[in-house]
Every structure is written in structure tokens, then in C-alpha cells.
Copies of this chain bind each other. A is one copy, B any other.
Amino acid sequence: MGSLEHKYDPTFTERVIAATGPKASPRTREIIGPLLRHLHDFAREVNLTVDEWMAGVELVNWAGQMSNDKRNEGQLLCDVLGLESLVDEITFSAAAHAKDAHTATAILGPFFRKDAPHYPNGGSIIKTMPADGQVTYMHGRCVDSVTGEGIPGVVIDVWEDSTNGLYEQQDPDQEDCNLRGRFTTDEEGRYSWYCLKPTPYPIPYDGPAGKVLQLLDRHPFRPAHIHLITTHPEYMPITTQIFDDSGPYLTDDSVFAVKDSLLVHFKPRENDPKASLEVEYNFKLKKQPSQLEQGDEVTGI
């Protein structure tokens, strides 16, 4: 770094950091120094030109312009650079290494909707059945990571793509809220639903994230997966994905989200006229810290 700083004004970055006023929050002060040092060191290390920087600005502005309530291109841009997976690891790593670890987490992705319909256990999230779909009975339990006891009343959000690789909000041929729903665990912590075996798909390729993949000579595909979120007033929420262990792209996911503990096996289902496959997945949930501790964790840049 020494030689890089001497090539250009060696005081510049520290002057920009020092412009921060006394009323900036402690967390903002903690973040701004490393942010500016890494941003500026990056520019100096690669001798970033005005034209290259402006190409970056235009890429970022384009991301905002493409984003709306159904699409978050700024997020997708971070995803292809591995940043969402990394902050997911950072946020949940302390919990994940504890003895009473909860289920591993994975990125939210840009296709979650807060308004998915609520179904009873054993219900189906399939509203538009594709000709080549493989109906799967998915079931399992939510248990306390310490006691191992089933947890009633856990709400599980589930969403997935159809066999054409599209989520319902990307595809006018799918009924609204197709392949997404919310279920609540029963007295023993059990849940069950019918869904489709998920399909690998390319992330949207027509925006800045696609442009970055092209520039990097990378493919846009994600391995087949099902998105899940668990919520319960007394337990830490979990956002995760489970991956079909038989499919492609497990080692070269375009958004770097696969973890070994999230691989599941879809096996043939016997004696069920409604489904040809089944998959089991069990969640370990960890108790919430007290309300007071929680409040301390809430920060924003």
C-alpha cells in the first residue's frame, strides 16, 4: 500500500475520512474508514481511469433504474459478486458455530414476496401446473436447537421457480402467487406441503448483473433450489435455501449460495396419487435473545 499511496497524494484518503463530523453515529464511524480506504485503495491499485469509473457509475444507475417492487437489480449485482452470501455468512456465523447451532442460512434473493397466501399443512402451492412438473411432497419438523423438541406455530414461507426457470412474478403465464405459500407447524412442530421439484435457472440476464457476468465470462445459472424462511415470535428467524443434490451448478452457483448442509435428496414417493417424489427437511431453531439485546443490534449505515 505504501508505494501506491506515494504515487498519488498520500494524504487524500485520510482527509476524506477526517471530514466525518462528530455527530456521525459510532457504527457509521466504524464503517466509513474501512469503506473509504478499501474504495480508494481499489482505485489506486488498478489505476482506475475516469472512463472506467464512469462506466461503473452508469452500471450502478442502471441497476436502480431497473429495480422496482418485483425486481431488485442492485441486490442481484451484489449477488453475482458474492457479497450477499458473504454478509449472510458474517451475520449468522457466530450463531452457526455455536454448539446449539440453528439451521444454516442462505441468501434471500430478489424474488421473495411478503404477501404469499397461507395454506393448511398438506396443501399445495401449485396453482399453475406445468406439463413437465414433478410434484413433490415436502415435509419435516421445526425443533428447538437446544432441547430438540418440536415447535408449534412456526410460520414457514416457501417459494420456488416453475419448470421454465421463472418465478411467478417474472412470468405472465403463471397465476399470481403460484409456487409460493405460508404454512404453520402443528402441535408437534410438523409441516407438510405439495410443491414442484425445483429447476435450475439463469438469474435475470438483461440488466447490469447480466452485463457483469458477461464481462467476467461467467454463466448465469443457479442450481435447483427451494427458498424457505421460518418465523416465530420466540425464535430467531431463518432465511435459507435447500438444493437438489442431484442437479447441475452445485459447485458453480452464479451467486455462491450453496452450502453442504443445505443439500437434500428428492426420492420416489410410494402410494401417493398426488406426488411422484418426496423430500424431507428439518429445521433447528434457536431462541431469540431478549428484546433488550435485540434492540442493541439494530443499526443502519
Range of interface residues on chain A? 35 or more
Separation in Å of the A82 CB from the closest CB of chain B? 4
Q: Does A99 sit at the interface, judged by CB under 8 A? A: no
Q: Does A63 sit at the interface, judged by CB under 8 A? A: yes
A53 touches B78 (CB 8 A): yes
B93 touches A44 (CB 8 A): no
Contacts of A25 in B (CB 8 A): 215
A22 touches B217 (CB 8 A): yes
Question: Which residues of A from 65 to 93 have beta carbons under 8 Å from B?
Answer: 65-67, 72-75, 78, 81-91, 93
Of the candidate stretches A6-14, A157-165, A265-273, the one touching chain B is A6-14
Q: 15 A-B pairs, CB-CB below 8 angstroms?
A: A16-B81, A31-B48, A43-B83, A43-B86, A43-B87, A49-B87, A52-B300, A52-B301, A53-B78, A57-B72, A57-B78, A60-B74, A62-B64, A64-B66, A64-B67
Of the candidate stretches A32-40, A136-144, A227-235, A279-287, the one touching chain B is A32-40
Find the B residue at minimum CB distance from A29.
B216
Q: How far is the CA of A87 from the CA of B8 in the complex (A)?
A: 10
Kindly identify which residue among B13, B34, B53, B299 contacts A51, using a CB–CB cutoff of 8 Å: B299
Contacts of A31 in B (CB 8 A): 46, 48, 52
Q: How far is the CA of A31 from the CA of B83 in the complex (A)?
A: 17
Find the B residue at minimum CB distance from A51.
B300
